[in-house]
Amino acid sequence: MNPVVIAVAITGSVPRKKDNPAVPVTPAEQIESTHEAFEAGASLVHIHVRNDDESPSSDPERFAAVQEGVEKHCPGMIVQFSTGGRGRDPSARGSALSLKPDMASLSTGSVNFPTIVYENHTTLVTDLATKMREFGIRPEIEIFDLSHLHGAKRLVEAGLIDERPHVQFVMGVQNALPAEEHLLDLLLGELRRVLPKATWTAAGIGRNQAPVMEWALKRGADAVRTGLEDNIRISKDRLAKSNAELVSLAVQAVERHGRRVATPTEARTALGLQSRA
């Protein structure tokens, strides 16, 4: 079996530092937290940036600072920017793509979130995909609903993304797809039918992080995702100390399944990216 890429989502789009002080907010904190996670085994970092008051930021300078720090301190690590929505003006969601990160997240449809509609109008999706193609950025397709797989298929047919995209199933967001094992089978079955060459991973939100990772590894996922964006707890009674601590648990899960953690070079090969050597 191929080695498993460990992706770490270091900082989300919901303010959480008051709930867990380990959530990194400033670029310096984000670089340090990413470096620890890299040393622990992560080979891909998913990045949201924030203002110092923790409000979501679209400031390309912040993205650039984190990107530069990660490239300097974490050689070969895959840098993935979020183009996700919560609290950001849709027109600003692609504002950092000109920095040419290796990858960027791309949602291909709308869905209900806990308190908002996560709106991804087809015009916005097409615009973001077009920018990613222009800047040579590989998208990670975020699947919050079955219909989003068909949204991705339409982008392939339009020539905006290639036939071997990297796809992430997101499970356990309140009001969206529940984290249930049989639903992962359903999603995977549809993925194999509509995008047979795709690589894939799955993310479980909150207490679903560990079980979704298990289900994904059981089914031969190319990557797993962890990090404080999705989950701030080790257990009901204990907060995670760092992104690195969550990555260490992912390493253990990968090894329990008789697989090996991918190096940055292997991660780049697996996800169809150029080497940075």
To Mg ion, the closest distance from the beta carbon of 84 in angstroms equals 5
Q: Which residues between 64 and 93 bind Mg ion (CB under 5 A)? A: 82, 84
Provide the greatest CA pair distance for the chain: 48
Contacts of 113 (CB under 8 A, 6+ apart): 86, 173, 174, 175, 176
To Mg ion, the closest distance from the beta carbon of 93 in angstroms equals 11
Position of tokens 């204990």? 238
Containing H/E element for 57? strand 56-57
To Mg ion, the closest distance from the beta carbon of 230 in angstroms equals 8
To Mg ion, the closest distance from the beta carbon of 157 in angstroms equals 26
Q: Please tell me whether residue 120 binds Mg ion under the rule CB under 5 A.
A: no
**Inter-residue contact 6 to 42 (CB < 8 Å):** yes
Q: Which is nearer to Mg ion, 3 or 125 (CB)?
A: 125
- Alpha carbon separation from 64 to 33, 59, 93 (Å, rounded): 16, 9, 15
Q: Which is nearer to Mg ion, 8 or 184 (CB)?
A: 8
The token pair at 49 is 């940036």
Q: Which is nearer to Mg ion, 36 or 140 (CB)?
A: 140
To Mg ion, the closest distance from the beta carbon of 55 in angstroms equals 15
* Distance in angstroms (rounded) separating the CA atoms of residues 229 and 251: 18
To Mg ion, the closest distance from the beta carbon of 85 in angstroms equals 9
To Mg ion, the closest distance from the beta carbon of 11 in angstroms equals 9
The site for Mg ion, by CB under 5 A, has a size of: 2
Q: Which is nearer to Mg ion, 213 or 257 (CB)?
A: 213
Count Cβ atoms within 10 A of the Cβ of residue 53 and give its class: 0-12 exposed, 13-18 middle, 19 or more buried. Answer: exposed
For Mg ion, the nearest residue by Cβ is 82
Q: Which is nearer to Mg ion, 84 or 204 (CB)?
A: 84
* Distance in angstroms (rounded) separating the CA atoms of residues 266 and 257: 18
Q: Which is nearer to Mg ion, 3 or 226 (CB)?
A: 226
Q: Which is nearer to Mg ion, 113 or 266 (CB)?
A: 113
Contacts of 81 (CB under 8 A, 6+ apart): 47, 63, 67, 96, 97, 99, 101, 103, 104, 105
| Residues at the interface with Mg ion (CB under 5 A) | 82, 84
